[in-house]
Each structure stands twice: as C-alpha cells, then as structure tokens.
Structure 1
C-alpha cells in the first residue's frame, strides 16, 4: 500500500526590513517566494502615506497585496507552481511576471516584511509549517538596510535616510507586532534550526494570533 503524498507547506519568514530574511532564506536551499514582489504599484490610489509627510508608507501592510500573496502560496501548495509578479522597488512598479515552479518540494519559504500579516490565513488553509520573525540589534539592521538600499538604488537618498531613522526607532514595536500576529521572534541560528525541523517534517506550529 503506497503512502499518501506529503502536502506542500510554507514557512513564513518575516522581520524588520534589513534583518537578513533574504540571505537566510537563500541559505536553506529551499524554494523561495519573494513576498515583496506583491507590493502595490506607485500609482495605486489606496497607498498609505507616512503621517505628517508626503512620503508613501511602504512599511504599512496597506501598501501590499495580501490577497494575491495568499493566492500564490495556496496555488504553490496545491499544484507546485504559480505565476508571480516581478516588482521593481526603484520604480514602484511591476515590470514583469515569472513562473515559479517548486515541483514536488514538500516545503518552501515565503519571505517578506509583511509575512506575519498572513499567518492566520495560512493556518486556516492548513498550509503553514512555521512562522518566524528575524530580530537583531536595531542599529545593525539600520546599517545593513541602508547599505543594501543605496547599493540597489531603491529610492532617493533623503527618502532612505528618513525611512531608516523612522524604522530604527520603531523596530522593537515592529517585532512585537509580528510576534503578536503569530511569528516566532528569534535570531538567525534559532531560525535555521526551526527551518531545518520544518524541512524534516517536524512542523513547529506558529502561535495563534488570538492566543
């Protein structure tokens, strides 16, 4: 008698911008879904603004298409493939789309700063293996984020400095919010351990957002 196929599940990897999510996801060797590719485009009238400023608040979940991200995760878990947008942060636009095919891989990582916002939805769909929030020192995150954003020319220098200073001060609250939504806050080594456990089939369930 053949055993039933192992369902594909997802590890949601979140954390403040610059916390090292992308590099950690790459270290796992697992397929990765980039949740930042589901940002709304710059001309979307629903984009939020930073209070007291004309800057768009790209760190608000309202700047992101959660429905499309969840639909992509569900399709990957069900069929092993989906079509995802290719987003340019520098131009705030979707510049292309691509096919992501994970074949029969039983686990993949979906990483992005808004991953915690879909923990409950992935739990209800029965596809969540774990949810992890990377945390570290705010000053270190600030330096790493600024160096990356300048290197990639993501936005203007004044915008990046304003955003970086704001996020450094807000970082403890960002981590606390993501934890409240069900993502386990930890450093990189613990995160790698949890990812290894999930890959081995020992799924560590995230805390319920209402617990």
Structure 2
C-alpha cells in the first residue's frame, strides 16, 4: 500500500502590529498567506470607529473578513492553491487579486494581527498545526511600526501617531487577548523553534487554556 500524503496544515502567526510577524514569516522559508489582505474596504459601512473619534478602527477584528480568510486557508490545505485579494493599506482598498500556490507543502504560515481570532475555527476544521503570538517591548514595537508605516505611506502622519500611541499603551492587553484566544505567546527565537518543530512533524500544539494571560 502506498503511503498516504501528509496533510497540509497552517501555523497562525499573530501579534501586535509591528511585532515582526512578516519578517519572521519570511525567515522561515515557508509559504506565507498575508491575512492583512482580507481587510474590508474603506467604504464598507460595517467598519468600526475608534471610540470617541472619527478614525476607522483598523485594529478591531470587525474591520476584517474572517470568513474569507478561513476559506482561503481551507482551500490551501485542500488543494495547495487559492485566489486572494491584494490589499492596499494606503487607499484601504482591494486593488487586485492573485493566486497563491504552496506546491502541496505540508506546512505554511498565515500571519496577521487577527490570526488569533481564527484559531478556534482552524482547529475545528482540522487545519491547525500551531498558533503563535509574537511579543516584545511595547516601545520597540512602537518604533518598528511607525518606521514601517511612514516608509510605506500607509496613512497620514497624524493618524499613524494617534494609532501608534494608542497601540503602545494597549500592547500588553492585545497580547493577553490573543493568548486567551489560543495563540502561544513567545519571542522570535522561540517562535522559529516551534515553526521548525511543526515543519518536521513534531508539532507542540500546547496553546494556553482559555482565559490565560
């Protein structure tokens, strides 16, 4: 009897904006699905606002299409390919679509600030290899995020400063929330170790229990 093919699974890589998710995902050499491409467009009437402000709250999961993201992950696991939107953060719009091929690799990374919000769903569907939440110093995250956002012209400078200050103050709560959703909190080195273990089939799926900080 011929051996059964190894099923494809996903590692969800969460963490605060600017925590280094994209850089770490690139270092793994694994295929990467950018979950930020599933943001809603800027004219979507369901977009939430920052309380007490006219700013759209792009850090609320309600600004993101979780259903479409899970569907794309499921299709990648089943078929090794899926069509995904190309999202331009500066214009808050989907500007194109592209096909992501992962060549039937047994493991890929899906990274984004809302990755922890789909841990349960991916687990229920049998797609999950591991779920991680990158954490670090809030001041370091603030600097990294601001430099990136200014370089890429993501939003206006006043908006970026308001958002950056708000996120720096909330960073520990963000990590605690993502941990409670099932993502294992760790630094970059430990995350790379867990990713290597998952790629070798030695998955250490030991996410904290619900409600853990």
Q: What is the Cα deviation at residue 208 of structure 1?
A: 6.8
How far does the alpha carbon of each residue in 1:69-100 deviate from its partner, in whole angstroms, 9 at most, with x for none?
A: 00000000000000000000000000000000
Output the aligned Cα RMSD: 1.0
- Whether the 8 Å CA contact 2:133–2:185 is kept in 1: the answer is yes
Structure 1 residue aligned with 2:154: 154
Q: Aligned pair 1:41/2:41, yes or no?
A: yes
- Whether the 8 Å CA contact 1:47–1:63 is kept in 2: the answer is yes
Structure 1 residue aligned with 2:26: 26
Structure 1 residue aligned with 2:198: 198
- Whether the 8 Å CA contact 1:30–1:108 is kept in 2: the answer is yes
Structure 1 unaligned segments of length 5 or more: list them: none
How many residues of Structure 1 are paired with residues of Structure 2 in the alignment?
211
Q: What is the Cα deviation at residue 210 of structure 1?
A: 4.0
Structural mapping, 1:159-198, within 5 Å: 159-198=159-198
- Whether the 8 Å CA contact 1:120–1:208 is kept in 2: the answer is no
Q: What is the Cα deviation at residue 204 of structure 1?
A: 2.0
Structure 2 unaligned segments of length 5 or more: list them: none
Distance 1:208 1:138 in 2: 22
Moved more, 198-207 or 78-87: 198-207
Distance 1:200 1:118 in 2: 24
Q: What is the Cα deviation at residue 207 of structure 1?
A: 2.7
Structure 1 residue aligned with 2:85: 85
- Whether the 8 Å CA contact 2:40–2:64 is kept in 1: the answer is yes
Structural mapping, 1:88-127, within 5 Å: 88-127=88-127
C-alpha change, 1:90 and 1:209, in structure 2 (3 Å) is farther
C-alpha change, 1:111 and 1:176, in structure 2 (3 Å) is same
- State TM-score, norm by structure 2: 0.97
SS of the residue 2:57 aligns to? coil
- Whether the 8 Å CA contact 1:133–1:183 is kept in 2: the answer is yes
- State TM-score, norm by structure 1: 0.98
Distance 1:120 1:203 in 2: 17
